[in-house]
Amino acid sequence: MGGGPTGLYFALLMKLSDPGNDITIFERSGPDLSYGWGVTFGGDLMAELYRSDHSSARAIERAASRWGSQVVDVQGKQAVRSKHGGYGINKHGGYSINRQRLLDILVNRIQDLGVHIKLGHEVTALSQLPESDLIVACDGVNSQTRLEAGFDTEVDLGRNKYIWLGTDKVFESFTYAFVRTDCGWLWAYAYGIDADLSTFIVECSPETWRGLGFETMPPDGSLALLEKIFAPHLDGHRLVGQRLDGTDVRWSNFRTIINQRWHDGQIVLAGDTAHTTHFNIGWGTKLAIEDALALAENLHQHSNMELALQSYERQRKAALRQPQSDARFSAQWFEDLPRYIDLEINHFSMLLDGRRSPLLPRLPPRLYGQLLRATEEITVLRALRGRVGPKVKAISSRQKPNQVTI
């Protein structure tokens, strides 16, 4: 249920595991009607895709943009970092890809393997489905399957407002752009997704959103105002707020989904149907595909379906604890932006990168920045000692207290 990255990649894995598996994907949207401009993921996931299926991984890497730098811009003052642990990036680097292009690659691959896909086929009740051994519900945040079956679902509505847009300006670095208005701050997350487009997500507090009139403004009015506000960053380029089906993108509050149970009988949850983590850590696609990998692996390892689903649920819940904590503190950091925004630009950028820490909200920002700098300096010294290797000498008892040999 659902033709997003989770369902498509799970189908791919199950067909590779056993070509005799009879798999059908039901997707409510028609072809070329993907929501969202681009998605991000780290180089560690790219390596996992190559291990799982070299053919589709090669096509995905060729279609993806790669970046490892970050620009933080606050009212024209900039801090640039070439390596960081920010949005969707880890030590392996970061990738972004047009979401529709990603889906097209996976659809072509699984159709070649013999998976059946029914596009534009909305299932409103489980009784409409044919008899099957397993139903994988990965039909998104608004999952009808999850709602009908019941999995003790908790939904937490984020405080800030956001809108997911595109632009025909291509951002070569991942860019955070913070702009002050008379009604408060707005900020954008911008990153290139191909040779012609970038994702441009705008977020702000509900007070700023209402103060600027977005609450009652029509979609074209919202786009025009946002283009004016972010004009220095767009360089004359336009924002795009209309999906391929002609509907307009609307302002939303992010919904964090948590399910107490992930499976019930022959139904199992995966991807955004099972969990969501705030978009401001950029891990949605990574976690969704990792669900598909874990589910397929457990079904391969356990001949008993119930044992396989229990093991899958246990593994993925454990794996999600840290990302969910990171996402929670990251969202809180942006909700508390006035606490940090007046810091010197490099200090602000450092705390932006460190926003996932549970310690940060409990300490004065300047003190936390000093601790962060000290930690980085210690890390550098340790790396230096590691490079020197056997030549490192311990402090001798014969040395004076102020003599240290490295």
CA-wise closest residue to 270 among 45, 24, 29, 6: 6
Q: What is the pTM of this model?
A: 0.87
Among residues 206, 240, 274, which one ends one of the domains?
Answer: 240
Residue 55 to residue 57: CA distance in whole angstroms: 6
pLDDT of residue 374: 81
Tell whether 310 is covered by a domain. Answer: yes
What is the domain-level CATH number for residue 319? 3.50.50.60
Whether residue 177 sits in one domain with residue 224: yes
The residue among 297 and 150 whose pLDDT is bigger is 297
Average of per-residue pLDDT across 287-306: 96
CB 257 within 8 A of CB 143: no
* 324 shares its domain with 204: no
Residue 121 in any domain: the answer is: yes
Confidence class for position 68, pLDDT limits 50, 70, 90 = confident
Q: d(Cα 182, Cα 301) in Å, to the nearest integer?
A: 59
Residues 119 and 133 reside in one and the same domain: yes
Q: What is the pLDDT of residues 11-41, one digit of tens each?
A: 999 999 999 999 999 998 876 656 668 999 9
Percentage of the chain surpassing pLDDT 90?
Answer: 71
Q: Are residues 28 and 116 in the same domain?
A: yes
Give the amino acid at 313.
Answer: E
The continuous run of DSSP H or E covering 12 comes out as helix 5-17
Residue 184 has pLDDT above 70, yes or no: yes
Do 274 and 291 belong together in one domain? Answer: yes
- Measured CA to CA, the distance from residue 27 to residue 119 in angstroms comes to 5
The tokens for 401 are: 């207290």
pLDDT score of 134 more than 70? yes
Q: Are residues 152 and 165 part of one domain?
A: no
Quickly state the pLDDT bin for 260 (edges 50, 70, 90).
very high
> pLDDT confidence of 385, banded at 50, 70, 90?
low
Output the CA torsion 148→308→285→80 (10° steps).
130
Instruction: Sort strands 65-67 and 94-98 into parallel, antiparallel or unpaired.
Output: antiparallel
Statement to judge: residues 96 and 28 lie in one domain:
yes
**Across 6-20, 43-57, 243-257, least confident range:** 243-257
Q: Is the dihedral of CA 162, 160, 96, 102 positive or negative?
A: negative
> Taking a C-beta distance cutoff of 8 angstroms, is the pair 254, 278 a contact?
yes
| CB 174 within 8 Å of CB 67 | yes
Final residue before a domain boundary, out of 289, 305, 332: 332
Q: Reduced to 3 states, what is the DSSP secondary structure of residue 70?
A: strand
Taking a C-beta distance cutoff of 8 angstroms, is the pair 223, 164 a contact? Answer: no
Tokens at 140, concatenated: 């998104």
* 317 shares its domain with 346: no
Residue 350 domain flag: yes
- Has residue 74 been placed in a domain? no
Look at residues 94, 110, 105, 99 and name the one whose alpha carbon lies nearest to residue 45.
Answer: 94
Are 46 and 137 in a shared domain?
Answer: yes
Answer whether residue 247 is part of any domain: no
Instruction: Over range 137-160, report the average pLDDT.
Output: 89
Give the alpha-carbon dihedral of 106, 107, 109, 112, to 10 degrees: 170
- The single residue listed with the structure tokens 């700098």 is 373
List of residues 6+ apart from 345 with CB closer than 8 A: 72, 74, 77, 78, 79
Q: State yes or no: pLDDT of 70 exceeds 50.
A: yes
pLDDT of residue 37: 85
| Last-in-domain residue among 208, 240, 272 | 240
- Domain span including residue 211: 161-240
Q: Is residue 300 part of a domain?
A: yes
* 172/220 same-domain check: yes
CB contact at 8 A, 42 and 89: yes
379 pLDDT band (50/70/90 cuts)?
low
Are 152 and 176 part of one and the same domain? no
Amino acid 384: pLDDT = 52
Strand order in the sheet with 77-81: 77-81, 70-74, 174-181, 184-192, 198-204, 161-167, 239-240
Q: Region 343-372: what's the mean pLDDT? A: 91
Same-domain check for residues 212 and 281: no
- Would residue 72 count as lying in a domain? no
Distances 306 to 9, 127, 294, 362 between C-alpha atoms, Å: 22, 21, 15, 43
Report the pLDDT value the prediction gives residue 383, as an integer from 0 to 100: 58
Q: Does residue 365 sit within a domain?
A: yes
Across 207-232, b (16+ Cβ under 10 Å) vs e yields ebbeebebeeeeeeebbebbbebbee
Amino acid residing at 300:
H
Q: How far is CA 402 from CA 8, 150, 167, 202, 289, in A?
A: 63, 67, 58, 53, 54
Instruction: Determine the Cα–Cα distance for residues 48 and 242; give it in Å rounded to an integer.
Output: 33
Band the pLDDT of 241: cuts 50, 70, 90.
confident
Indicate the SS3 state at residue 304: coil
Higher pLDDT, 322 or 92: 322
Res 126: pLDDT: 85
Q: Are 267 and 137 in contact (CB under 8 A)?
A: yes
Domain count, the chain: 3
Smallest CA-to-CA distance from 33 within 198, 243, 200 is with: 243
Average the pLDDT over each of 85-99, 179-193, 268-282, 333-347 and give the range with the smallest value.
Answer: 85-99
Q: How many CA atoms lie within 13 A of 229 on its CB side?
A: 27
